[in-house]
Structure 1
Amino acid sequence: MNFRLSEEQEAFRELARDFARREIAPVAAAYDEREEFPWEVVQKAHRAGLMNLEVPEEYGGPGLGPLEVALIAEELAVGCAGIATTLLGNGLALLPILLFGTAEQKERFLPEFCAEPRLAAFCLTEPSAGSDIAAVSTTARREGSEYVLEGVKTFITNGGVASLYTVVAATDRKRGARGLSLFVVPAGTPGLSTGKKERKLGQRASDTREVIFEGVRVPEENRLGREGHGFQMALATLERARVGVAAIAVGVARAALDAARAYARQRVQFGQPIIGHQAVQLMLADMAMGVETARLLTWRAAWAFAQSEPGAEMLSAMAKCYASDVAMRVATDAVQVFGGYGYMRDYPVEKYLRDAKLLQIYEGTNQIQRLMIARRL
């Protein structure tokens, strides 16, 4: 077994690490404080080749695999989880097209994202349909060669800044999960609008809001896969995308550990730096073990998808659940190492704590991940 990365993988990781250090970390606190969308960072990331990572070269993308995406996601999240979520949001939204789109659909939708900075949004969650995908109430009524979409999606990443939306809607409400289908809807389509930007606890640089469909007409050629197969396609999309969430969690945990370790070396109490006190040493040791084990499980899940290994979906659930729990625990402990200063917004660790919490919730709550794992044992 060889854990050594290839030269190409090391190069991508170093590219992302350098970008996060130069372009994300210096502005992360300001974007968080103002709850402002980081368009300038998006443009720079696109020029650097750090977006649309899995889009094949034939459509203008780098054509990276799941492990390379995980390496990049971790580094970007060290800079800021909210900005990383924004930059990686295209990966989630375009993934259904990559997995289930026809050659014509890929050629029609993908190249524009690689040619210029554009964002996409994956529209699944609704006010009454979160973990329960089968409860989706947005409808897609067939009228001739078109579908008419009606409904409201909520908590949609990149919702107010996207140029393309992949939408899960019910073509037959009576069939429940078997009545869902998946559609691609360009921004600007009549009847498509967005609601207010949500004011969030963390990941504030990410644009999160309602997306509203009122008589939105979508041509039949914008449906992905067969009618009624949307549930399976949405699950497959989330199962693969959760590796990226796990990698973001590793990045947040690593950033929190680095900050706590640096602070413990310079903070003096009882005549010595607090890193010399055993109580602090034990906390840092547990934090370091969490970061390393979370990264290993994330890499294992990424490798499983790269190899099309049976059971990859269970590994991605494990990685997302475990890594996000680690991120929350490490960030909490980092605040504790900082003591009272950790609770102040002048220091970075309170942001890591706020950002980490969302990782336990989006793309499937950790309780749902545990249920999925248990059912596959």
Structure 2
Amino acid sequence: MHLTDEQRLIQRHVREFAQAEIEPVAVEHEQAGRYPRDLIEMAAEADLLAPRLDESVGGAGLGVVSSLLLNEEFHRADPGIGESVTAVTFGCEPIIEYGTPDLVEEWVRPACRGEVVSSVAMTEPGAGSDFAAIETSAERDGDEYVLNGDKVFISNGSVADVSLVYARTSSPEEPHRGLSSFVVPADADGVEQTPMEGYMGPGATDIGQVYLSDVRVPVENRLGDEGDGFYQAMTFLDEARLDVAAACVGAARGALDLVGEYVTEREAFGGPIAEKQAVRHRIADLETRLGGARSLVYEVARDLEREGEVDAARSAQAKLLATTLLEDVASEAVQLHGGYGLFDEYRVETFFRFSKVPQIYEGTNEIMRTVVADGML
């Protein structure tokens, strides 16, 4: 894949950072189930936290392709730490697009410096893929809104300093027209954040539940016009799915890197197992599929840079292809490691556990197939 000289420099910078700072401590963070605040601070110092956000708000001001390269390399080094580092500013884009300058100053700039962690609170116990079915309410009371509801499976949910909360402000005949989005500080009265135990994904990531009980926020904390939340979210998700696809490409690359190292060193039946045709062909097939997925992801990214608008169907294709590929790569990585693949010391089991996660968040793969079919038919 062709990259500009600047993009190659960025890729090399991120890779060197990840190899020096993330890979050596990946197993330690995984075993401890520790959210990597130390690495987030280090990434902020290296100007790697907010690649796509404009320099005017504290970001790095990079293009779409460059920002995806960061995402890819972080997940290549470790999917759990990669998720946490790249999600620090999750939700800042809508604040910039639809929020007031004061909200940007209060939350976006600190997030770009690694001083604040943001999150997006969309999913509810009874509303996941059917986003328009959310029941969290936001009732107008003078110059404030009063929010009540329960959000689950929220990335950064228990560690976030601020959440972008989607809530129902009206109940029209078409439910998706009655949603709005709000910037809600974690320390607001009535906000309760708790980690969700038993998560299958990597231990270095945080998945939490957010309870809202008579939480008051000023009208200024609403993003855009009342009732525009659904449309804001769909625009946000179309681009976020491209980030997910790049993360999966990176994680697949990382898992294959580990396989290559292991099969070259591991000997059985008189020689390295890398010499066995069955092993070589399996790796060759996965390497070929990885190349195809990566090409699609960055082709869609270049189109987004050129046209300024993401194609929802092609973004869904990229996520569907990359997430499916990652599961296959991670499964083979465990299999080719044999018994060692079942232990975290060899790291491939972390990639395997992660491989199911991106098939569910930012729209399940079933929803991706619906979006792709809608675009075609």
TM range (shorter): over 0.9
Establish whether residue 12 from structure 1 lines up as the match of residue 10 from structure 2. yes
| Whole-angstrom distance in 2 between the partners of 1:198 and 1:296 | 37
How far the C-alpha of 1:311 sits from its partner, in A, is: 5.8
Query: In the alignment, what sits opposite 1:361?
Result: 360
Query: In the alignment, what sits opposite 2:115?
Result: 117
* Contact 2:335 2:341 (8 Å CA) reproduced: yes
Query: In the alignment, what sits opposite 2:42?
Result: 44
Aligned residues: 375
| Whole-angstrom distance in 2 between the partners of 1:311 and 1:194 | 33
Q: Residues 56-95 of structure 1: matches in 2 within 5 Å?
A: 56-95=54-93
* Contact 1:92 1:237 (8 Å CA) reproduced: no
Per-residue CA shift, 1:314-362, capped at 9, x if unaligned?
Answer: 1211111110111110111111211222223332211111111111111
Establish whether residue 209 from structure 1 lines up as the match of residue 208 from structure 2. yes
The 1:92–1:36 alpha-carbon spacing in structure 2 relative to 1, beyond 3 Å, is same
Q: Of the candidates 20, 24, 27, which is equivalent to residue 25 of structure 2?
A: 27
Q: Of the candidates 168, 175, 185, which is equivalent to residue 170 of structure 1?
A: 168
Q: Could you list the runs of 5+ residues in structure 1 that have no partner in the other structure?
A: none
* Contact 2:49 2:114 (8 Å CA) reproduced: no
CA RMSD across the alignment:
1.6
Query: In the alignment, what sits opposite 1:315?
Result: 314
* Contact 2:244 2:358 (8 Å CA) reproduced: yes
Establish whether residue 198 from structure 1 lines up as the match of residue 181 from structure 2. no
Q: Residues 218-257 of structure 1: matches in 2 within 5 Å?
A: 218-257=217-256
How far the C-alpha of 1:87 sits from its partner, in A, is: 1.5
Per-residue CA shift, 1:194-245, capped at 9, x if unaligned?
Answer: 1234331122211111011111111111111111111111111111011111
Per-residue CA shift, 1:277-308, capped at 9, x if unaligned?
Answer: 11111101011112211211111121222223
How far the C-alpha of 1:276 sits from its partner, in A, is: 1.2
Establish whether residue 138 from structure 1 lines up as the match of residue 107 from structure 2. no
Per-residue CA shift, 1:47-89, capped at 9, x if unaligned?
Answer: 1111122221112211122211110001000121111111121
**What percent identity do the matched residue pairs reach?**
39
* Contact 1:55 1:110 (8 Å CA) reproduced: no
2:15 partner amino acid: R
* Contact 2:242 2:301 (8 Å CA) reproduced: yes
DSSP 3-state at the match of 2:60: coil
How far the C-alpha of 1:130 sits from its partner, in A, is: 0.7
Q: Could you list the runs of 5+ residues in structure 2 that have no partner in the other structure?
A: none
| Whole-angstrom distance in 2 between the partners of 1:44 and 1:93 | 21
Per-residue CA shift, 1:95-132, capped at 9, x if unaligned?
Answer: 21233334554344322223453210011011111111
What stretches of structure 1 move > 6 A for 4+ residues in a row?
none
* Contact 2:71 2:243 (8 Å CA) reproduced: yes
Q: Of the candidates 94, 97, 121, which is equivalent to residue 96 of structure 1?
A: 94
The 1:11–1:188 alpha-carbon spacing in structure 2 relative to 1, beyond 3 Å, is same
DSSP 3-state at the match of 1:363: coil
* Contact 2:320 2:369 (8 Å CA) reproduced: yes
How far the C-alpha of 1:174 sits from its partner, in A, is: 4.0
Per-residue CA shift, 1:250-271, capped at 9, x if unaligned?
Answer: 1111111111111111222221
How far the C-alpha of 1:182 sits from its partner, in A, is: 0.8
The 1:257–1:218 alpha-carbon spacing in structure 2 relative to 1, beyond 3 Å, is same
Per-residue CA shift, 1:11-60, capped at 9, x if unaligned?
Answer: 22112111111111111112111211111111111111111222211122
2:239 partner amino acid: R
| Whole-angstrom distance in 2 between the partners of 1:90 and 1:178 | 29
* Contact 2:245 2:318 (8 Å CA) reproduced: yes
Query: In the alignment, what sits opposite 2:294?
Result: 295
Per-residue CA shift, 1:133-174, capped at 9, x if unaligned?
Answer: 011110000111111010011011111211111111000134
36-45 or 268-277: bigger deviation:
268-277
The 1:114–1:256 alpha-carbon spacing in structure 2 relative to 1, beyond 3 Å, is closer
1:199 partner amino acid: G
| Whole-angstrom distance in 1 between the partners of 2:20 and 2:262 | 21
